[in-house]
Amino acid sequence: MDINIVLVEPEIPQNTGNIVRSCGGVGANLHLVKPLGFSVEDKYLKRAGLDYWDKVTIKYYDSFDEVLQNATLDGKPHNFYYCSTKGVKLYSEIKYQDGDYLVFGKETKGLPEKLLHDNYDRCIRIPMKPDFRSLNLSNAVAIIMFEAAKQMNFKDMETEGALTQY
């Protein structure tokens, strides 16, 4: 499966480490847009990602525009979905495809308002109770990424489990 997770200016190392681990389990690529709120050598980042760092393709960018410039499929841009509590569509209403980019903002502010405004029809959200502000970033990434994986029939993932008697 070829899904791309983009974190725009992530701030908390443990969240990014958890996202690395989730990307490894699904086979997703991770794109990190600077500035990062931590060093990639951070012990909390490494601990949260456990020993999965070598199983994930991670690319670093100086700006989100750089991500857009590098995201092409046979000369055509991929689909981008902007994940925000301000999204108009539910994440489950999207028909995900190989090569899609799921874009998430920083923990304290989310994605920039202009980016959301310019991509209004591609903004998606996870439904929550009305008095609830947001989910943890790594949880939100996992929810939407696994929906995309499910829609693609868990391509390249193990779907048959072996039950062992104890």
Q: Which helix (H) or strand (E) holds 81?
A: strand 80-83
Confidence of residue 54 (pLDDT cuts 50, 70, 90): confident
pTM: 0.89
Asked if 58 and 24 count as a contact pair (C-beta separation under 8 A), the reply is no
Name which of 132, 136, 129 is nearest 83 in CA terms. 136
CA 54 to chain centroid, in Å, comes to 18
Query: Which amino acid is it at 143?
Result: I
Tell which CATH architecture fits domain 4-151.
Answer: 3-Layer(aba) Sandwich (3.40)
Confidence of residue 78 (pLDDT cuts 50, 70, 90): confident
Confidence of residue 13 (pLDDT cuts 50, 70, 90): confident
